[in-house]
Chain A
C-alpha cells in the first residue's frame, strides 16, 4: 500500500507553520518571564504580547485595546455570548438570535442561557446553508440582547452575509457577535466597516498553535467576565498569558492574510475541480452553497453508504478527512449542520468533508478524486441500503 498521507482535514485543525514556530521559539525558551513582572525577561514577554495585539488589531481594522486573548475559539464564544447576555439581562434584555447550524461552542452556550431563562431564536439556514438577513431582521425584538451568527460554517463552509447582518444589527441597536473561527485567513474582515461588535477567532485553523485565540470586543462594550482572577487583559480575562501562543497566533494571522488572495484563487480551483469530479458519482450531492463557500471546503453526501466506513477506507488509503455521520459525531444523530440544511438522516450519515490548506497540492486532490469512487463502489456493493435504493429506482420510486 502507498505510504502517502494526504491531510485533508484542515477545517478540524492545521499543521503549525515552521515560520510561526520559529517566531514562537524564543518565548518557549529564553523569554520565559511572566508578562506581569517588572524585570526585563518579563517586560520582554509583555512587549511581545502587546506587539501581537497590535498586529492582530490591524488585520481587522480594530484598536489593540479591543483585542483580548483567550484559550481559543470555544472560550471566545462562551465569553462573548454569556458575557453579553448577562450584561444585557441587567437592562432587561433576555432574547438572543442565532442560527441552527452554529458551532456547539455557541449552541451549547445558548442552551446554558436558555436554562437560565433567556429566550433563544434559532434562524433557519435553508437548503443552501445561508441565513437570510430579512428573516434575521424580522426576528429582532425590543428585548433582543444579542445576535450571534457564525462567519463561515465549519462543516459545509458556507459564508454568511455578515456585512448585511452587521448593518441590520446597527440599525436596530442590537449587539452583533460573529464566530469567525473558520473564516479568519480566508476572507477579508473589517470589524468597523462590517459593524461587528464581537468576533471570535483561533490560531490553529490557519497554521498557528492550538490553545490560543482571541475575542475582539468593540470599545465601550463590557461583556461580564468569564474567567475571574488576576488583572491580565486589563482585568477582563484572568490568567497568565500564553505568550508563545499569542506570538504564534499573530504570526500565523499575518502570514495567512498576506497570502490570502493567491491561496484563495488556488484552493477555489482545487475545490471546484474535486466537487465537479465527485458529482459524477451516482447519487452524490454537494452540501451547502457552491459559491458562497470557503475556498478549501468540499462537503458531499453519497447515498447508500455510511460516513465512518468511508473515512476508515480513506485512512487506509492515506487520506485524512472527516464526516458528519452519527458514528463520527459521537452522538446518535448525524451532524446538526447537515440536518439544518434539510438532509434526511440516512443521507446525512453518508457525508464527507475534505478541507484544504496551503499544503494541499493539485496532485493531492487528483489522488483523492481517484481514490474515492472505488471506495464508494465497494461500500455500496455490500450495502443493503444501496440495494433498497436500487430496487426503489426500478419500481420508479426516487
Chain B
C-alpha cells in the first residue's frame, strides 16, 4: 500500500477533527461492518460554510479524505460544496490507491449528508438540491466499493 505524502500528512495531522456544538448540519455515512464511518458537522452562515469538523472511523485513506474534504469546503458556499466530487478530493491528495477510491466517495457523501441535514432542519426537502445519497448495502459485500 503506497500512500502519497499528502495522504500521510492528512492522516498523521488531520485538519478539522472534532465536533461542532449546535451544528447547523450533521451527516453520517458508511457503517461499521464495512469498516468506515464518517461523520461531518457544518456551521452555515449566509449560505457560506463557516466551519466544518469531522470524526472518522476507518483506514488511513478514510481519515485523510475526510480531512481534505473539510479543508476544501471550509469558507465555501453551499453551491460550491455541493459541486465537490470525490475525484477532486483524490486529486487534492495526489491520488489514492485504487482500492481506496471508495473512501473519497464516502467523503463526498458525508458532505452531502451534512448539507441534507442542514436543509431538513430548515424544513426544506434536501433531495432536489443535494440529490440522493446512496446507502452502502453491506449485505452485498460492501457494495459502496467502486
Size bracket of the A interface: 20 to 34
Give the Cβ gap from B5 to chain A, nearest Cβ, in Å: 13
In the complex, B108 has a CB within 8 A of chain A = no
List CB contacts (< 8 Å) of B8-54 with chain A: 8, 11-12, 14, 17-18, 28, 32-39, 54
Checking B11, B14, B35 against A327 with a beta-carbon cut-off of 8 angstroms, the contacting residue is B35
* CB-CB nearest in chain A for B58: A306
A234 to B1 Cα, complex, angstroms: 41
How many B residues face the partner with a CB closer than 8 A?
32
* B32 touching A345, Cβ below 8 Å: yes
In contact, A384 and B55 (Cβ under 8 angstroms): yes
CB distance from B66 to the nearest CB of A (A): 9
Q: Does B92 contact A (CB under 8 A)?
A: no
Q: State the CA gap A305–B33 with chains docked (Å).
A: 12
A349 engages B11 (CB within 8 Å): no
Pair B56/A326 contact, Cβ less than 8 Å: no
Which secondary structure characterizes the binding site on chain A?
helix
Which of A327, A381, A387 neighbours the largest number of chain B CB atoms within 10 Å of its CB? A327
Please give me the residue from chain B that is nearest to A333 by CB atom. B141
Q: Chain B's nearest CB lies how many Å from the CB of A320?
A: 13
Cβ–Cβ < 8 Å partners of A332 in chain B:
34, 141-142, 145
A312 (CB) vs chain B CBs: closest residue: B60
- Contacts A349-B32, A349-B35 hold; do A308 and B17 have CB atoms under 8 A apart? no
**A308 touching B55, Cβ below 8 Å:** no
Query: B33 near A346 (CB under 8 angstroms)?
Result: yes
Contact (Cβ within 8 A) B62 A306: yes
B99 at the interface (CB under 8 A from A): yes
How far, in whole Å, are A328 and B18 apart by their CA atoms in the complex? 26
Q: Of A349, A384, A387, which one neighbours B38 at CB under 8 angstroms?
A: A384
Binary contact readout A360-398 vs B (1 if CB under 8 angstroms, 0 otherwise): 000000000000000000000111111110000000000
Q: Which of B28, B55, B145 contacts A383 (CB 8 A)?
A: B55
Do A382 and B141 have beta carbons less than 8 Å apart? no
A194 to B3 CA separation, bound complex (whole angstroms): 47
Task: Tell me if A166 counts as interface (CB < 8 A to partner B).
Answer: no
Docked complex Cα distance between A316 and B8 (Å): 10
Chain B residue at minimal CB-CB distance from A387: B55
Which 9 A-B residue pairings sit nearest by Cβ, starting from the closest? A346-B32, A327-B59, A308-B59, A385-B57, A383-B57, A384-B39, A349-B35, A345-B33, A332-B142
Residues of B within 8 A of A (CB): 1, 3, 8, 11-12, 14, 17-18, 28, 32-39, 54-63, 99-100, 141-142, 145
Question: What would 5 more interface pairs be, CB under 8 Å, given A306-B58, A383-B37?
Answer: A306-B62, A308-B60, A327-B60, A349-B32, A382-B54
